[in-house]
Amino acid sequence: MTRLRCAIPDDYFDLALSVADWSRIRDRVDITVFKEPFANEAAAAHALKDFEIVCAMRERTAFPRSLFTALPKLKLLITSGMRNASIDSDAAKDRKIVYCGTQYTRDPTAPLTMGLILELTRGIGRENARMHAGEPWQVFAGTEIEGKTLGVVGLGKLGSKIAGLAKAFGMNVIAWSPNLTPEKCAEAGVGYASKEELFSTADIVTVHVVLSQRSRGLVGAADLARMKPTAYLVNTARGPIVDEDALLDVLRQKKIAGAGIDVFSVEPLPSDHPFRTLDNLVLTPHLGYATRESLGIHYSQMVDCIDAFTKGNEPPRRLA
């Protein structure tokens, strides 16, 4: 039997081979791990051109039609998650490439969102850095979130989970999204608000909608301008959902109290990006789903797909 080659790109944490049992397929498949992000599409094409199988991690490497064309040997593409806006699924189908996904059993993004909220309002990381730097004592007076209003943009599975956590902290919760109804809010135990009401009244706004052509720029300059000067914005969804230029402008001018951002339009975030210069912006490098447990689930399910595919069986969770 001809052995197949499997590429695991973008394993930033060097965890892929240790959190899943790849021994199940090593009798048929040779595995190569790429720990650093590809500089551009040409670099990705050069690195992946000899592989029949690719295990993609979220949107870290985009797969437009042009990249599929540059990978003539590709037979099986697996993405973490059951949707990936950076993969052209039509191109995969046209090229007769089997395209599969993996499922979450839980989403660790919700606790990270609350962590960003706590960092913005209590300055935990900031004060920790000062203590380690030898500073004498506290200088940052925090803000309590109990009794404050959290505005949730998108009340799906993740948004609903955030709402529950926020209520456990004693927060009032309101929600809005383009298709959200008062009835859905009532089911989740949160208040319904128009988009204008949410941005003008919430003390913290957190974004939890799926990236699509419809949601690109969903949070724009007019929305940010409505926010109170004491309010914070948190985005752990996808970078392009928020107008980054508009956000940069309101943060520079101190028109809002600050923001916590885990996702960006360009990832990894360029080292010279102006976001890195702002002291009222908490930045994390897309940590939302990146836990050992979550990655272990994704990579284990990728092994399942490869095992089935190489045995001539229909792989689970096929997308195209």
308: tokens are 């089935």
Active site residue 286: yes
Return the H-helix or E-strand segment holding 5: strand 4-8
Phi-psi label, residue 318: left if phi above 0, alpha if psi -120 to 50, beta otherwise: beta
Which residue in 52, 238, 244, 298 is the catalytic one?
Answer: 238
Return the H-helix or E-strand segment holding 32: strand 29-33
Q: Say how far apart CA 312 and CA 320 lie, in whole Å.
A: 16
272: tokens are 């010279």
Which residue in 130, 267, 317, 318 is the catalytic one?
Answer: 267
By C-alpha distance, which of 22, 2, 16 is closest to 75? Answer: 2
By C-alpha distance, which of 46, 50, 47, 54 is closest to 78? Answer: 54
- Give the contacts of 284 (CB within 8 A, at least 6 positions apart): 112, 116, 260, 261, 262
Which residue in 58, 208, 286, 298 is the catalytic one?
Answer: 286
173, amino acid identity: V
Q: Say how far apart CA 172 and CA 136 lie, in whole Å.
A: 36
Backbone angles phi, psi at 304, to 5 degrees: -55, -45
Return the H-helix or E-strand segment holding 121: helix 109-122
113: tokens are 């969102």
Place of tokens 């050069």: 46
Active site residue 208: no
Active site residue 318: no
- Give the contacts of 297 (CB within 8 A, at least 6 positions apart): 102, 103, 104, 105
**Enzyme catalytic residues:** 238, 267, 286
